[in-house]
Structures are given as C-alpha cells and as structure tokens.
A = this chain, B = another copy of it.
Amino acid sequence: MVEYKDMLFKVEGERLSPMKMKVKSGNFEIVIDKLGGEAPSPIEYVLAALAGCINIVGTIVAQKMNINIEDLKVEVEGVFNPEKFMAGTGGRAGYKEIRAKVKVKTDADEETLKKWLEEVEARCPVSDNLANPTPLRVEFEKC
C-alpha cells in the first residue's frame, strides 16, 4: 500500500510592473497581468487551472474505470462582478458561480460517464479548493 505524505508547494512572485508579476514555480515562470493586460489575469488562470485539472483527473479516473477517452475538451465559465475588486463595495470579490462543461469523445455509455464525472469532481484538487473553503493566511513583511 502506498503511503501518501503531505507535500509543500511554493511559488515566488516578483513585480514586473505595479500590475504585472512573474511567478516562479520550480523551473516554470508564469506571467500574470491585470485584466486586459499583456498576459492572462489571475481570474483567467483560475478557470484555466480547473480545465487542466479536470483533464488530468479525468484521465486517471478513466484508466481506473477502463473507459477509453478518445478526446476531451473542457469549457469553463465564471460569473464575476468587478465592483468589490475595483471599488471596495458590493458583493463578493471573486466568481459568484463557476460552470464547467466536459466534452468527451468516448464509446462509454451515459451512465458510466455520470459515475466517471462524479469521481472526477470529488478527486479534482482545483474543484475542491473552489467549491469548499480553504484556510488562507496572508501576512506582510516590510523590507
């Protein structure tokens, strides 16, 4: 039996401008800008992460269930109101609602796919962190 241990992921972001940041994660660099800027915005990365996560977990769960997925596309939509973010007033700062549609090319039947998707949703890390609350601590250090 495999023993799974907690892993610590760490990223480090430095400013390229007051709105633009380069974030290092291991050997990768992810550039993030404001909405309408020169790179995707933070909230676009959130939706993209969910799409990519559904693909990976979808593959893992399909292998376990002996489902052959020939192709898979994911569309993710989020409803967002910028008022809180821009002005500090109004409702919640983040997405009010997120919807994902998984388009699967496969010969598996609908019933099997329903079970597959339930398992994918339950095991998808990004889905979990969006749908459920996560303890989050933000601190500053003056330097």
> Interface on A for B, CB 8 Å cutoff?
2, 4-15, 18-21, 23, 25-26, 28, 30, 32-34, 39-57, 59-60, 64, 69, 71-88, 90, 92-106, 110, 113-114, 116-117, 119-143
Docked pose: A64 CA to B54 CA in angstroms: 39
Classify the secondary structure of A's interface with B. mixed
Docked pose: A52 CA to B138 CA in angstroms: 14
A30 adjacent to B25 (CB under 8 Å): no
Closest B residue, CB atoms, query A42: B53
Residues in B neighbouring A23, C-beta threshold 8 A: 47-48, 51-52, 74
Greatest chain B CB density within 10 A among A26, A45, A51 is at A45
User: How distant is A141 from chain B, measured CB to nearest CB, in Å?
Assistant: 5
Residues in B neighbouring A110, C-beta threshold 8 A: 142
Residues in B neighbouring A132, C-beta threshold 8 A: 92, 94, 133
Docked pose: A5 CA to B124 CA in angstroms: 31
User: How distant is A28 from chain B, measured CB to nearest CB, in Å?
Assistant: 5
Partner of A11 from B18, B76, B94, B106 at Cβ < 8 Å = B76
B11 adjacent to A75 (CB under 8 Å): yes
Q: List 14 A-B contacts (CB under 8 A).
A: A9-B78, A10-B78, A11-B75, A11-B76, A19-B59, A25-B44, A28-B44, A32-B48, A92-B128, A99-B138, A101-B139, A102-B141, A127-B138, A131-B133
